């Protein structure tokens, strides 16, 4: 008999497994679209119509950064809360309800996107994952997003419920670190999603249903980025959770400091949202002063970032020293590099460090002009979400999947090759994307080649850059194939008694050393809200002042579709009730969360 997660929490293990498998399905789809667009835009192999490129790109973006990442992280969070509080969820039907909501939402949005490939169906959502107006999607897409987000809200309520129930029984105990990380992340998420919820429910959905004529594109963009930066932390904080609480264990050491980890997460909660305008440095219609404030706030984020880097590396080093490592740098050799879980997570962290550099360039208001909307940005976020997050999630799956299925990993060597291949593939793809961006090659472009114009490279050539991008894309696809082979091989294996115990890393300096105030979630929520109000009220007011709440007259693209009229009718008469109850649910959970 082993002591794996599934042995202690069989019902919860099913939920976590369902979340992981959903996320892997999205990863597979996203990967297929990823390699198609890589080969297309580098002109290595084009078999789709260039007009369909944007449907492919939308599918890639949405499946990767909404479905894959978020389904995976709700699985991790469920594991983290149940494991660290050492109690099952309060009501498993409630838990399945949010899995259901998220699934229905994904299917709706996914169908709307994929229908864009079929000319005979007049449904499409080729609006890219940022869905800027005047690009317009079928209402099904927006409705799907809403249900998905509501699902995550209910999931958050589920974890808060667990914590409240636990607190009643343990009134004086510190919040266990993994649960603390889940709760702070979710508070951040509740604040952040107010932005998209408003953008979709008040503007974009009514607009796509034909209930309102126009929207103010700058307003909906700004509301998108109100959510768009913190969503980045919604992907990253689960990866940090794994780096802080699992990686030290895999390295053979202990977490360097529990208090530092708490401080880091509080700072991320406070600083994630009031910075979104740093994605809009080039948007006309937002005053430079507001952009400057966003930049200043962004620079403050360096603090928790370096804190995280220091604490995580120090914890790994602790492992290396316990394994006999010595010297300033040679301790690195004592780490368990043959373990795919450790190696994958560590390599993810290494590429994340590289992303720190391109991120600093993005963050500077003036130097951002150099790279804005160029392939540089795509290179940057394939290092962050595409590697720091995605590779961490894949690597840690080699630990999690046995935990939630009770089966041994099919093949460790394949797993090791897989994570290394991802690292190599991303190195090729992203270094060349950064360089291509520097010479001005645009992102989101099916055919970035122009008659009578040549990009000038200081070193190398455009052909060489494209070759590297394509080679990287192919290696990444290969890596994905190995990943799925391993997951499927494991799923079809038989139950094993020889599994590692469930658990997370101990701390060298534990929660007793952390000031009590760190656990005061009400205080941090209040400060976070105040910071958001300070950062956003004036910019939003001035945008509405200039462009009107519903904006100047803009023409939607594509033009209004036939099926929409039918759906508008249906939604009006049937859907409003559903929306209302979803809204009530949200409003009921929110005060509880803030309480």
Partner 1 sequence: MSQATEEPEQLQEIGHDEYNPIGTLALIGLYFVILVLLWLFVYFVEFLGNDPTVIGAVLTMVGLQ
Query: Could you say whether residue 497 binds partner 1 (CB under 8 A)?
Result: no
Joined tokens for residue 324: 């006999």
Query: Could you say whether residue 314 binds partner 1 (CB under 8 A)?
Result: yes
What is the size of the binding site for ligand HEM (CB under 6 A)? Answer: 27
Which of 60, 262, 382, 435 does the annotation list as catalytic?
A: 382
Nearer of residues 126 and 308 to partner 1, judged by Cβ:
308
Q: Which of 195, 276, 473, 539 binds ligand HEM (CB under 6 A)?
A: 473
Q: Which of 74, 241, 341, 390 binds ligand HEM (CB under 6 A)?
A: 390
Q: Which of 4, 16, 19, 65 binds ligand HEM (CB under 6 A)?
A: 65
Find which of Cu ion, ligand HEM, partner 1, none residue 229 binds, CB within 5 to 8 Å per kind: Cu ion
40 catalytic residue (yes or no): no
Q: How far is the CB of 501 from ligand HEM (least distance, A)?
A: 30
Nearer of residues 121 and 481 to ligand HEM, judged by Cβ:
481
Give the separation between CA 333 and CA 165, rounded to whole angstroms: 45
Question: Of 495, 380, 531, whose CA–CA distance to 6 is shortest?
Answer: 495
Question: Of 482, 449, 448, 457, whose CA–CA distance to 378 is shortest?
Answer: 448
Q: Which residues of 13-36 are buried (b: 16+ CB within 10 A; e: fewer)?
A: bbbbbbbbbbbbbbbbbbbebbbb
Joined tokens for residue 520: 């005061």
Query: Could you say whether residue 415 binds partner 1 (CB under 8 A)?
Result: yes
Q: How far is the CB of 415 from partner 1 (least distance, A)?
A: 8
Give 495's DSSP letter: B
Q: Which stretch binds partner 1 (CB under 8 A): 100-108, 112-120, 191-199, 249-257?
A: 249-257
Find which of Cu ion, ligand HEM, partner 1, none residue 251 binds, CB within 5 to 8 Å per kind: partner 1
Question: Of 68, 149, 287, whose CA–CA distance to 586 is shortest?
Answer: 149
380 catalytic residue (yes or no): yes
Q: Which residues contact 581 (CB under 8 A, 6 or more apart)?
A: none
Site residues for ligand HEM, window 119-138 (CB under 6 A)? 128-129
Give the separation between CA 354 and CA 331, rounded to whole angstroms: 21
Query: Could you say whether residue 557 binds partner 1 (CB under 8 A)?
Result: no
C-alpha dihedral sign at 43, 49, 50, 53: negative
Residue with smallest beta-carbon separation from ligand HEM: 34
Joined tokens for residue 328: 């300033």
278 catalytic residue (yes or no): no
Find which of Cu ion, partner 1, ligand HEM, none residue 412 binds, CB within 5 to 8 Å per kind: partner 1
Q: Which of 12, 31, 108, 275 binds ligand HEM (CB under 6 A)?
A: 31
Query: Could you say whether residue 238 binds ligand HEM (CB under 6 A)?
Result: no
Q: Which of 14, 87, 412, 444 binds partner 1 (CB under 8 A)?
A: 412
381 catalytic residue (yes or no): yes
Q: Which residues contact 339 (CB under 8 A, 6 or more apart)?
A: 250, 416
Decide if 547 contacts 218 (C-beta within 8 A).
yes
Residues 350-356: contacts with CB under 8 Å, at least 24 apart? 350/423, 351/383, 351/387, 351/388, 351/391, 351/423, 351/426, 351/427, 351/430, 352/383, 352/384, 352/387, 352/388, 353/309, 354/383, 354/430, 355/380, 355/381, 355/383, 355/384, 355/387, 355/388, 356/305
573 catalytic residue (yes or no): no
The end-to-end CA distance of the chain, in Å, is: 42
What is the size of the binding site for partner 1 (CB under 8 A)? Answer: 56
Find which of partner 1, ligand HEM, Cu ion, none residue 65 binds, CB within 5 to 8 Å per kind: ligand HEM
Which of 321, 372, 412, 444 does the annotation list as catalytic?
A: 444
Query: Could you say whether residue 38 binds ligand HEM (CB under 6 A)?
Result: yes
Query: Could you say whether residue 366 binds partner 1 (CB under 8 A)?
Result: yes
Q: Which residues contact 409 (CB under 8 A, 6 or more apart)?
A: 398, 401, 402, 415, 486, 490
Q: What are phi and psi of 488, to 5 degrees?
A: -65, -45
Give the separation between CA 533 and CA 275, rounded to whole angstroms: 12
Q: Which stretch binds ligand HEM (CB under 6 A): 11-19, 160-168, 476-484, 529-537?
A: 476-484
Q: Which stretch binds partner 1 (CB under 8 A): 31-39, 127-135, 217-225, 498-506?
A: 498-506
Site residues for ligand HEM, window 270-309 (CB under 6 A)? none
Decide if 343 contacts 424 (C-beta within 8 A).
no
Give the separation between CA 340 and CA 456, rounded to whole angstroms: 41
Give 508's DSSP letter: E
Find which of partner 1, ligand HEM, Cu ion, none residue 57 binds, CB within 5 to 8 Å per kind: ligand HEM
Which value, to the nearest 10 degrees, does the dihedral of the CA atoms of residues 389, 394, 398, 399 take? 20
Question: Of 414, 408, 406, 256, whose CA–CA distance to 343 is shortest?
Answer: 414
Query: Could you say whether residue 61 binds ligand HEM (CB under 6 A)?
Result: yes
Nearer of residues 132 and 300 to ligand HEM, judged by Cβ:
132
Q: How far is the CB of 279 from Cu ion (least distance, A)?
A: 5
Question: Of 28, 234, 268, 22, whose CA–CA distance to 149 is shortest?
Answer: 234
Query: Could you say whether residue 319 binds partner 1 (CB under 8 A)?
Result: yes
Tell me how far the alpha carbon of residue 445 is from its chain's centroid. Answer: 23
Find which of ligand HEM, Cu ion, partner 1, none residue 110 binds, CB within 5 to 8 Å per kind: none
Query: Could you say whether residue 336 binds partner 1 (CB under 8 A)?
Result: yes
Q: Which of 320, 385, 390, 394 binds partner 1 (CB under 8 A)?
A: 320
Q: Which of 46, 444, 462, 508 binds ligand HEM (CB under 6 A)?
A: 444
Site residues for partner 1, window 41-70 (CB under 8 A)? none
Please give the residue ranges that form the binding site for Cu ion (CB under 5 A).
229
Give the separation between CA 92 and CA 166, rounded to whole angstroms: 16
Stated length of the chain:
595
Query: Could you say whether residue 342 binds partner 1 (CB under 8 A)?
Result: yes
Give the separation between CA 452 and CA 450, rounded to whole angstroms: 6
> Which residues make up the interface to partner 1 (CB under 8 A)?
250-252, 256, 288, 292, 306, 309-310, 313-314, 317-325, 327-329, 331-332, 336, 339-342, 353, 356-357, 360-361, 364-367, 369-370, 398-399, 402, 408-412, 415, 438, 498-500, 508-509
> Which residues make up the interface to ligand HEM (CB under 6 A)?
31, 34-35, 37-38, 41, 57, 60-61, 64-65, 68-69, 128-129, 378, 382, 385-386, 390, 443-445, 473, 476-477, 480
Catalytic (active-site) positions: 229, 233, 380-382, 443-444
């Amino acid at each position: 008999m082993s002591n794996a997660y599934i042995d202690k929490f069989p019902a919860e293990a099913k939920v976590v497994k369902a979340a992981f498998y959903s996320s892997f399905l999205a990863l597979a789809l996203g990967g297929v679209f990823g390699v198609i667009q890589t080969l297309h835009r580098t002109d290595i192999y084009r078999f789709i119509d260039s007009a369909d490129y944007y449907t492919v790109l939308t599918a890639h973006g949405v499946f990767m950064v909404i479905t894959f990442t978020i389904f995976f992280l709700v699985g991790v969070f469920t594991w983290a809360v149940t494991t660290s509080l050492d109690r099952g969820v309060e009501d498993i039907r409630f838990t399945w309800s949010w899995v259901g909501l998220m699934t229905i939402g994904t299917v709706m949005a996914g169908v709307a996107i994929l229908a864009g490939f079929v000319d005979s169906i007049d449904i499409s959502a080729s609006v890219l994952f940022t869905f800027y107006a005047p690009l317009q999607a079928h209402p099904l897409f927006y409705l799907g997003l809403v249900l998905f987000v509501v699902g995550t809200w209910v999931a958050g309520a589920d974890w808060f419920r667990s914590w409240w129930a636990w607190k009643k029984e343990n009134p004086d105990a510190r919040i266990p670190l993994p649960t603390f990380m889940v709760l702070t992340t979710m508070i951040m998420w509740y604040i952040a999603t107010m932005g998209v919820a408003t953008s979709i429910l008040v503007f974009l959905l009514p607009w796509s249903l034909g209930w309102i004529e126009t929207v103010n594109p700058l307003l909906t963009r700004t509301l998108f980025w109100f959510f768009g930066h913190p969503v980045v932390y919604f992907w990253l904080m689960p990866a940090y959770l794994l780096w802080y609480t699992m990686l030290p264990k895999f390295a053979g050491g202990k977490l360097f400091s529990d208090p530092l980890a708490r401080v880091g997460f509080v700072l991320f909660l406070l600083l994630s949202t009031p910075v979104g305008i740093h994605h809009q440095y080039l948007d006309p219609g937002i005053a430079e002063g507001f952009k400057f404030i966003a930049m200043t706030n962004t620079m403050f984020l360096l603090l928790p970032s370096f804190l995280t880097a220091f604490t995580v590396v120090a914890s790994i080093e602790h492992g290396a020293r316990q394994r006999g490592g010595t010297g300033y740098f040679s301790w690195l050799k004592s780490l368990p590099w043959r373990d795919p879980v450790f190696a994958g997570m560590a390599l993810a962290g290494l590429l994340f460090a590289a992303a720190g550099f391109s991120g600093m360039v993005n963050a500077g208001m003036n130097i951002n002009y150099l790279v804005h909307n160029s392939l540089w940005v795509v290179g940057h976020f394939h290092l962050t979400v595409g590697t720091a997050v995605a590779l961490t999630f894949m690597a840690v799956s080699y630990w999690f999947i046995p935990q939630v299925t009770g089966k041994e990993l099919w093949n460790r060597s394949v797993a090791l090759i897989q994570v290394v291949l991802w690292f190599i593939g991303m190195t090729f793809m992203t270094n060349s994307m950064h360089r291509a961006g520097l010479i001005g090659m645009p992102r989101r472009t099916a055919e970035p080649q122009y008659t009578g114009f040549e990009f000038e490279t200081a070193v190398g050539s455009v052909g060489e850059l494209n070759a590297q991008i394509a080679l990287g894309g192919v290696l990444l696809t290969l890596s994905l194939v190995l990943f799925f082979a391993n997951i499927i091989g494991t799923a079809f294996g038989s139950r094993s008694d020889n599994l590692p115990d469930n658990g997370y890393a101990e701390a060298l300096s534990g929660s007793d050393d952390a000031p009590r105030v760190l656990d005061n979630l009400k205080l941090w929520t209040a400060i976070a809200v105040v910071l958001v109000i300070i950062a956003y009220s004036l910019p939003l007011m001035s945008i509405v002042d200039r462009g009107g709440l519903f904006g100047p007259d803009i023409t939607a693209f594509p033009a209004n579709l036939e099926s929409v009229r039918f759906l508008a009718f249906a939604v009006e008469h049937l859907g409003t009730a559903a929306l209302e109850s979803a809204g009530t649910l949200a409003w009921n959970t929110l005060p509880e969360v803030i309480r």
